[in-house]
Amino acid sequence: MKPLIPLAIFIFILTVSSCTTAPNFRIDVTTQGIQIGDTLILTHHLLPDWKEGDRDTFIATKEGKFSFCKQTDETKLYIITYHPSQTEPLRYCNRGFVFYARPGDHLKVKGNVEFFPAMHKEGGMYDDPRLQRILTLEDSITVEQNKIYRKLYYFANLRGTPQANPDSMMYYNQAYSQCRSSELSEALKEFRNTADDSEYAAWEYLQAVNRVSYSEAAERFTRFTPEIKSSTIGRKLEQLLKVMKNIEPGNTPSEFTVITSDSARISLSDYRGKYLLIYHWGYGCPGTTWVHPHLLKLYEEYHDKGFEILGFTGDKQPETLSQDSEVASLFYPPWATVYTNQKENSFIADDYYFNGVPILMVISPEGKTLLRGYSGIYQPLKELLEKEMGK
């Protein structure tokens, strides 16, 4: 491992020296607990689905501080993850330290490694005085969530031992589930819905847009300033509105042709005359684990009466498949499965906005979208099939 450190330091110095070129942004971080040799990984994530983009690795060359520059030609969302070299990694319930950066921004960050995701941000779009209360609330709730998460993890690891305490496990599980701030939620919602000149508001709106209707999102977009509409985030929102219109309940979604796991070509129009469930699932997702057996029962009961399911997933088949019947039922269902990570199928994740798992999208025999959402769609789907096809 030691021979790699000089190379990493060289990469770090080379990146810092690129601050003399444009466009770029700079970030200076003062973080109590950072040690020489610790690793920081900077990852660009694409919204709204949080797909991972390019990644850079840096090695800390000073105690308690690190800095770097990154070339960028547009505003982007980044996540920094911290990996200590001498101690066991701390457990965080967050992806890492999240921030937006624009070309030319100089961000200054302060905090400590114990609550690395909750470091305080200054500079760039974070200097907007309207944001200070929101940022303070976000940092506070992040610290509290991580404290509870570590307690929950501690008691979870005691399961099956004499020290196990089910009551404590249940207590911290409930505490973690309820560790939300209504004050923060309301403040952020108001800001992203009213700050028409704020790029931060637009980025946050993009992340929350899956919780509103197409008409509401389209109306909100019209109120952003021309500068925001023509920016990176404005163009993303405008493109997403087209996708939302395509999948909105009551509308007719666009035709598609995909390749199934058994190499068959299948199109949306092949299901005309039947009720179709488009089912986007993910291995290891609690929502998928819950809803999948229920969908198997619906399929068994109503398939012969005109109910079809078309499954989509970006997950690969795990090596442990043969040892886990629950996983096997995901990868070998009685309906067709489409892998969205195959090149010929990759378009569907964007066109149908597969931004999470499980996503259930119900198409009528006439080709219109009837229902769309997460696992909560199961119950209205069941009621629809009972009404139209009988129990």
pLDDT in tens, 261-279: 999 999 999 999 999 999 9
Q: Whole-angstrom Cα distance, residue 245 to residue 233?
A: 18
| Residue 316 φ then ψ, to 5° | -90, 155
Closest among 237, 260, 243, 236 to 339, alpha carbons compared: 260
pLDDT, residue 318, reads 76
Whether residue 10 has pLDDT greater than 50: no
How buried is 383 (Cβ within 10 angstroms: 0-12 exposed, 13-18 middle, 19+ buried)?
A: exposed
Q: What is the pLDDT of residues 180-195, one digit of tens each?
A: 899 999 999 999 999 9
- Residues 340, 348: contact at Cβ < 8 Å? yes
Q: Which of 18-27, 325-334, 341-350 has the highest mean pLDDT?
A: 341-350
Reported pTM: 0.76
Q: Whole-angstrom Cα distance, residue 235 to residue 224?
A: 12
Residue ranges of the chain that CATH labels 2.60.40: 1-125
Which CATH architecture is the domain 1-125 placed in? Sandwich (2.60)
pLDDT, residue 20, reads 53
Tokens of 359: 């996503």
Whether residue 336 has pLDDT greater than 50: yes
- Residues 352, 346: contact at Cβ < 8 Å? no
Residue ranges of the chain that CATH labels 3.40.30.10: 257-389
HEC letters along the chain: CCCHHHHHHHHHHHHHHHHHCCCEEEEEEEEECCCCCCEEEEEEEECCCCEEEEEEEEECCECCEEEEEEECCCCEEEEEEEECCCCCCCCCCCCCEEEEECCCCEEEEEEEHHHHHHCEEECHHHHCHHHHHHHHHHHHHHHHHHHHHHHHHHHHCCCCCCCCCHHHHHHHHHHHHHCCCHHHHHHHHHHHHHCCCCHHHHHHHHHHHHHCCHHHHHHHHHHCCHHHHCCHHHHHHHHHHHHHHHHCCCCCCCCCEEECCCCCEEEHHHHCCCEEEEEECCCCCHHHHHHHHHHHHHHHHHHHHCEEEEEEECCCCCCCHHHCHHHHHHHCCCCEEEECCCHHHCHHHHHCCCCCCCEEEEECCCCCEEEEECHHHHHHHHHHHHHHHCC
Q: What is the pLDDT of residues 287-311, one digit of tens each?
A: 898 999 999 999 999 999 999 999 9
Tokens of 46: 């694409």
CATH no., domain 257-389 = 3.40.30.10
Distances (CA, A) of 340 to 277, 329, 345: 17, 18, 5
Q: What is the pLDDT of residues 200-251, one digit of tens each?
A: 999 999 999 888 889 999 999 999 999 999 999 999 999 999 999 999 999 9
Distances (CA, A) of 375 to 20, 253, 290, 335, 357: 50, 20, 8, 18, 8
